[in-house]
Amino acid sequence: MIRKTMTVLALAASLGAVSFGALPALAQSPAAKAAVDAAKASGTVGEQADGYLGVVSGGDAALRAAVAEINTGRAAAYKDIAAKTGVTPEAAGQATAKQLYARLAPGQYWKPLDGGWTKK
């Protein structure tokens, strides 16, 4: 299991799937990225341990649409990583989430698989 996780992380890194700039580029507009980046900075949106973005609180319809757009791109990336590594898309998302968490700025939000939102 550890070997597969390391393989997933290595492949994700080589695909650029774990950087904030490269991952959403698969299926996101500049407006969606800007909206989500601002919402993460303000604490409205956070990263989840499953590898997807989530709305911490509030957020209008446009922000929710931006989160959904980016999550759609992430889902496609996790499916691709899974196909190349032999793990599930869920495992690929969780492996990528570990790297996303490491890159969160202090004060941004994170949601573990079995818990509520916490500030980093």
- Fill in the amino acid letter for 49: A
Percent of the chain with pLDDT over 70: 78
pTM of the model: 0.79
Rg of the chain over all Cα atoms, to the nearest angstrom: 14
- Domain count of the fold of the chain: 1
Q: Which two tokens stand for residue 57?
A: 């609180």
The residue range of the domain holding 13 is 2-119
d(CA 106, CA 97): 16
Confidence of residue 28 (pLDDT cuts 50, 70, 90): confident
Q: Please name which of 49, 70, 45, 69 lies closest in space to residue 59, comparing C-alpha atoms.
A: 45
